[in-house]
Each structure stands twice: as structure tokens, then as C-alpha cells.
A and B are shown apart, each in its own frame.
Chain A
Amino acid sequence: MSPRITLATAARVLTQLRHDPRTIALMLVVPSLLMTLLWWIYDGGVVFDRIGPALLAIFPFLVMFLVTSIATLRERTSGTLERLLSMPTGKLDFLLGYALAFGTVALIQALITATVSIGLLDLGTAGPSWLLIAVAVFDALLGVALGLFVSAFASTEFQVVQFMPALIVPQFLLCGLLVPRDQLPDVLGAISDVLPLSYAVDAMSEVQANTDPQVWGQIGVVLAFSVVLLALGAATLRRRTP
């Protein structure tokens, strides 16, 4: 692994994104618009205050999963990944390059969404709002890690997109947004306990409810999932292929 190659890769991914202003606009603006829609549906109020922070956790996870899985699938199918791995690129350079690039985008996305939610839509949280943004960035990294891993199991972009309903929607249904996790049927509660998004949403709820939120445990779980997924992702990057 070399910092030179990791940073070069992150810069390259961001340059690619810069050539695609429509994707940037969609990534940065859509979450705020959805927040506004939610605010309108519930007419602001307590339900919005409860659900809003959870959505702040879900957006970056979902968006970064999609862009990363498609971007790395492209690298696998276009031969650029093979070329990079035949060069001095380490597997970690490649993975961390992506994590760094999309992590940066996620930070900007979270800043915009949180500013709109708190500043314009009056989202009320007891804890400090910078923690909401920190949790959102960790969720984004989780999305990047899952996307990198999943791209190894898809050979077309159609397949990769189908992983979203397969892997993301169940986490969304079980993360506590629809029914609090402790009120789920036992089996579902147990499943929800091993899904990373549950911890991300728990962290957000904690920030929302407490003036002195203790979220580092949950963030630790999200980070641990990300590290394990990145390690599994690294195992799917092969210098030699059949």
C-alpha cells in the first residue's frame, strides 16, 4: 500500500465524478428534496423529528452503495482494475481510494442535507448536529464498503442494481424506522441486531433524543462492519484471474 497511489486513486475517482455534473447534482440535492417531502407529509412536527435523523443515516448509505458498486463493476469489466493490479497498485490503495473519494462526497452531501433539515425544516435534535453529520459520513463509508464487496458478485449493471432491493431494503425495513427494533417479532429483532444499518439508525436516534448522546458504540459497530466488508472486498480483488 502506498499513500501516493491511494491519493491518486481518490483524486481520479473525484475527477471522473466531476465530468458527470448531473450525478453530482442528484447526489447532493435529492436527499434534501426527500427530506423536504417528508417534512411536508408530516407537516413538520414530532414524527418528522423522529424519522428525519434516521433518513439522514439511510441516504448516504444507499447513495454511496449505488455509486460505488457500479463504479467498481465498471473497473472490473473495462479491464482498468486488471491493469491497475498489474501495476504497483495495492488492493488497499484501490479500496481506500474509493472510500476516501466517496467519503468526501458523503461529507458534502451530509452537510447540505443536515443544513437544510435543521436550518430550513426545523428538524429538532437534542444532541449536537455535528454528530448527525459524523454518523452520516460513517454510514456513507459503510455503503462504499458494501458496494465494493457486492460488485464482485455481479457481472452486469442490471445485476448490481438488483442488489439494492436484495441487500438494502431489508435493512431499511428492519432498522427501526417503521417499527422500533425492540417491538419487532423476536426473529426479526435478532436479524435486525446483525444488520449494520440498525446501528446507524440507533446512533441517529440517540443524537436526536439525548443532549449528551453516547453514539461511539454504535459508530464502532458500523465502522467494524465497514472494515470487515472492505477486507472481504479486498479478497475479491484478484491479480490473477482464470
Chain B
Amino acid sequence: MMNFAVRIRGLRVVRGPVTVLDDFDLDIRSGSLTGLLGPSGSGKSTLMRAIVGVQKVAGGTVEVLGRAAGDKDLRDRVAYVTQAPSVYADLTVRQNLRYYARVLGAPLSDVDRAIEQVDLGSRADHLVGRLSGGQESRVSLATALLGKPELLVLDEPTVGLDPVLRVQLWELFHRLAESGVTLLVSSHVMDEAERCERLVLLREGALLADDTLPDLLARTGAADAEGAFLELVEKAEQEASS
């Protein structure tokens, strides 16, 4: 039997006047590294918020690690990194992580490990408010590496990072997936798709594809993820107009 870390059925999310997701289904296999791709405004962040359980939903079910999303039991098993770094600018990198580690009940030795994993060792005692934007978002990412999360939900974790660091982080994500952690990573940069085992393409709240990259390329005849995405958008628009 295949194990799913996330099972979504008929999810409907309405934000203000906009129905962001409607009758949305998705399964994410345990221990997989799934890329969530789509233009900005396509509903990626909303979907992630629903999985973490911080989004008010209008209907449907979201099951995470065998429980309802947002369940008390999931609070130290699911780690979530928002697009805007949610860390304290008036604390140092280490003070931020020590605080979150204590909240999670994670050993304080995790703090140095997480700082090394995001390559901020030389900045550990600097105030977060004095760091660059990319460094600040890495502090936020490091928070998600504390403890032993089973599901990592990362909203655009590599935005604003230099290419070397991006490669390093994707290597880290792969190592985590190999160790059994499930990762859902969003991006609007299509070339990052090539680093994921599985791709979920979103457009205007609809699932355009949920496939591996080779299958996606074979199906669309495109040369890369971006081409495949454009192909699928075109197909969807043709179907909508016919």
C-alpha cells in the first residue's frame, strides 16, 4: 500500500471575493520531494496554508500524516516556512533559533546544526534585521529544520538566493527526502522543477498536472518544464473555449 503524507479531497478556499481553490484534489506520497509550480497568484501559497492548517477553508478535507490538517498532534511534525521570513529582526540568528527550538521542544544542539545547514555559521551572532534579504529567509528556513519534522512545507525558499546556495539547498532537500521526510516546495521559477521528483502545476487554482518531469515532457512534447507548462496552459484554454 502506498503511503500518503498529504491527501486532499474537494478542497475549496475562498479569500474575500476570490475563490482561490475549488474542488481541489491532491495526494503527496510520503518521503517524496514535490515541486509546486505555477505563476504568482495561482493558489500555491493558499494550498500550502491549507496543508499546514492555518488557512480557513470553505469545504473539503485535508489529511496530513493521517490526521486532519492543523491537528494538535501535527504541530511539531509539520514545519512551514512562509514566503516572507517569519523571524524576529531584533534577535540574532542564534537567539531566533534557540527560541523556536525551545517552543518545539527540540534539543538545543539542533540550533547549530540548522545554522550550518543553511550556511549561516559566520552570521550566527548577527542581528537578523542587519542581514540581507536572502540571509533572513535562510534563518526562517533554518527554523523549519529544527526538531524532526516529517513534512516540510516550504513556500519559495530559494527566492533571492545566489545559484551556488540554491544548489546547496536543493541538495539538502534531497537528502531530507532520502531520509524519509516529505517535502513540498513551491517556486515560480520553472528551472527549479527539474530538481523535483514530482511536479504539481497550478494555474488559477486548478491542477494542470501532477506528474514526474520525464512523463510530463513526454506527454507534452516540450523540451523543459517551462515549455510543458505553457503547452498545458494552452491546452487548458482551448478546452475552456471549445
| Chain A residues within CB distance 8 Å of chain B | 4-5, 8-9, 11-12, 15-16, 19-20, 78-80, 82-89, 239-242
When the two chains form their complex, are residues B53 and A84 in contact, meaning their CB atoms are under 8 A apart? no
CA–CA, A240 and B15, complex, Å: 12
Cβ of B65 within 8 Å of any chain A Cβ, yes or no, is no
B84 partner, pick from A79, A85, A89, beta carbons under 8 A = A79
B95 at the interface (CB under 8 A from A): yes
Given contacts A4-B105, A87-B103, A88-B76, contact A241 B55 (CB under 8 A): yes
Write the nearest CB–CB distance from A159 to chain B, whole angstroms: 20
Interface of A is mostly: helix
Check A88 against B105 for contact (C-beta < 8 Å).
Answer: yes
B53 near A239 with CB under 8 A, answer yes
* Residue B82 at the chain A interface, CB threshold 8 Å: yes
CB-contact partner of B103 in A5, A78, A82, under 8 A: A5
Q: Is the CB of B104 within 8 A of A87?
A: yes
Given contacts A16-B91, A82-B82, A86-B80, 14 further A-B pairs with CB under 8 A are A4-B102, A5-B103, A8-B103, A16-B88, A79-B84, A79-B86, A80-B86, A85-B54, A88-B75, A88-B76, A88-B105, A239-B70, A241-B56, A242-B16
Closest to B76 in A: A88
CA of A83 to CA of B56, assembled, Å: 15
**B70 to A79, Cβ gap below 8 A?**
no
Within the complex, the shortest CB–CB distance from A242 to chain B, in Å, comes to 5
State how many angstroms separate the Cβ of A241 from the closest Cβ of chain B: 6
- What residue in chain B is nearest A8 (Cβ atoms)? B102
Q: Does the CB pair B88–A80 fall under 8 Å?
A: yes
* A4→B101 CA distance, assembly (Å): 11
Known interface pairs A8-B103, A239-B70. Does A78 touch B91 (Cβ–Cβ under 8 Å)? no
Which A residues lie within 8 Å of B52 (CB)?
86
A102: min CB distance to chain B, Å? 15
A-B contacts at CB below 8 angstroms, number: 78
Q: Which of chain B's residues 64-78 have a Cβ closer than 8 Å to chain A?
A: 70, 72, 75-76, 78
Question: Are A242 and B56 closer than 8 Å at their CB atoms?
Answer: yes
Contacts of A84 in B (CB 8 A): 103
- Is B100 in the interface zone, CB < 8 Å from A? yes
Taking a contact as CB atoms closer than 8 A, the residue among A8, A88, A239 that contacts B54 in the complex is A239
Q: How close is A7's CB to chain B, nearest CB, in angstroms?
A: 8
Complex Cα gap A4–B56 (Å): 29
Interchain CB contact under 8 A, A16 and B87: no
Q: A4-B105, A83-B143, A84-B103 are in contact. Are A241 and B86 (CB under 8 A)?
A: no
What per-residue 1/0 map shows which CB atoms of B88-109 lie under 8 Å from chain A? Answer: 1111000100011011110000
What is the bound-complex CA distance between A82 and B53, given in angstroms? 11
Please pick, from B53, B78, B103, the residue contacting A89 in the complex, using a CB distance under 8 A. B103
Q: A242–B91 contact, CB under 8 A?
A: no
Tell me, in angstroms, the Cα distance from A239 to B76 when the chains sit together: 15
B86/A12 in contact, CB under 8 A: no
Of B80, B100, B103, B143, which is in contact with the most chain A CB atoms at under 10 Å from its CB?
B103
Which residues of chain B are near A9, meaning CB under 8 Å? 99, 103
Contact sample, A vs B, 25 pairs, CB 8 Å cutoff: A5-B103, A11-B99, A12-B91, A16-B90, A16-B91, A19-B91, A78-B84, A78-B89, A79-B84, A79-B85, A80-B88, A82-B82, A86-B52, A86-B53, A87-B103, A87-B104, A88-B72, A88-B104, A240-B54, A240-B55, A240-B56, A241-B54, A242-B15, A242-B16, A242-B56
Q: Which residues of A contact B15 (CB under 8 A)?
A: 242
Contact of B127 with A by CB under 8 A: yes
